[in-house]
Structure 1
Amino acid sequence: MKEYYVSIDVGGTALKYGIIDEHAQIIKKDSVQTNTAGKGEGILEQIVKITEKEQENFKISGICVSTAGIVDCEKGKILYAGELIPGYTGTEIKKQMEERFQIPCAVENDVNCAGLAEVVSGAAVGRKSVVCLTVGTGIGGCVILDGEVYHGYGNCAGEVGYLYMDGSDFQTLGAGSIMSKKIAGKKNGRPEKWNGIKIFEYAKQGDEDCIRAIEEMTEVLGKGIASICYVLNPQMVVLGGGVMEQKEVLKPLIEKQIQKYLKPILLEKTEIAFAKHGNNAGILGAFYNFKKYYRKEKNKEARAFET
Structure 2
Amino acid sequence: MQRNFVTIDIGGMAIKYGLADETGAFLEKKSRPTLAREEGGEGILRKVVEIVKRYQQDFLLDGVAIDTAGIVRPDASGEIVFAGERSFPGYTGLKLGTAVREACGVNCVVENDVNAAALGEYWRGAAQGAGSAFVMTVGTGVGGCFVLDGKIWHGAGFSAGEAGFMRIHGDHRVLEEVASARAMIVEAAASHNVSPAELDGETVFEWAMCGDADAVLAIEHMVDNLSEGIANIYCLLNPEVFVLGGGIMAQQEYLRPRIEQRLEELVVPAMRKATRLEFAKLGNDAGMIGALYSLLQKN
TM-score by length of 1: 0.93
Summarize deviations over 1:108-158 as a string: whole Å, max 9, x none: 011111111111111111111110000001000000001111111121111
Matches within 5 A, 1:50-129: 50-74=51-75, 75-82=77-84, 83-129=86-132
Q: CA deviation at 1:249?
A: 0.6
Report runs of 4+ in structure 1 exceeding 6 Å deviation.
none
Aligned to 1:199: 204
* CA RMSD after TM alignment: 1.2
- Please state if 1:277 is matched with 2:279: no
Question: Is the partner of 2:62 in helix, strand or coil?
Answer: strand
Long gaps (5+) in structure 2: none
Q: CA deviation at 1:183?
A: 1.7
- Please state if 1:17 is matched with 2:17: yes
How far apart are the structure 2 equivalents of 1:32 and 1:137?
A: 21
Work out whether residues 5 and 19 of structure 1, in 8 Å CA contact, stay in contact via their aligned partners in 2.
yes
Work out whether residues 35 and 46 of structure 1, in 8 Å CA contact, stay in contact via their aligned partners in 2.
no
* Letter in structure 1 aligned against 2:49: V
TM-score by length of 2: 0.95
Q: CA deviation at 1:189?
A: 1.9
Long gaps (5+) in structure 1: 295-307
Aligned to 1:190: 195
Aligned to 1:38: 39
Q: CA deviation at 1:61?
A: 1.8
Question: Is the partner of 1:111 in helix, strand or coil?
Answer: helix
How far apart are the structure 1 equivalents of 2:264 and 2:111?
A: 33
Summarize deviations over 1:2-54 as a string: whole Å, max 9, x none: 32111001112221111101232111111222221211111111111211222
Aligned to 1:232: 237
Structure 1 stretch 159-168 or stretch 76-85: which is displaced more?
A: 76-85
* Letter in structure 2 aligned against 1:237: F
Aligned partner of 1:151 among 151, 154, 157:
154
How far apart are the structure 2 equivalents of 1:198 and 1:33?
A: 26
Question: Is the partner of 1:237 in helix, strand or coil?
Answer: strand
Question: Is the partner of 1:227 in helix, strand or coil?
Answer: helix
Question: Is the partner of 2:159 in helix, strand or coil?
Answer: coil
Q: CA deviation at 1:188?
A: 2.2
How far apart are the structure 2 equivalents of 1:197 and 1:2?
A: 40
How far apart are the structure 2 equivalents of 1:236 and 1:140?
A: 16
How far apart are the structure 2 equivalents of 1:92 and 1:273?
A: 35
Aligned to 2:144: 141
Aligned partner of 1:257 among 259, 262, 277:
262
Question: Is the partner of 1:19 in helix, strand or coil?
Answer: strand
User: What percentage of residue pairs aligned between the two structures are identical?
Assistant: 41
Q: CA deviation at 1:56?
A: 2.6
Aligned to 1:130: 133
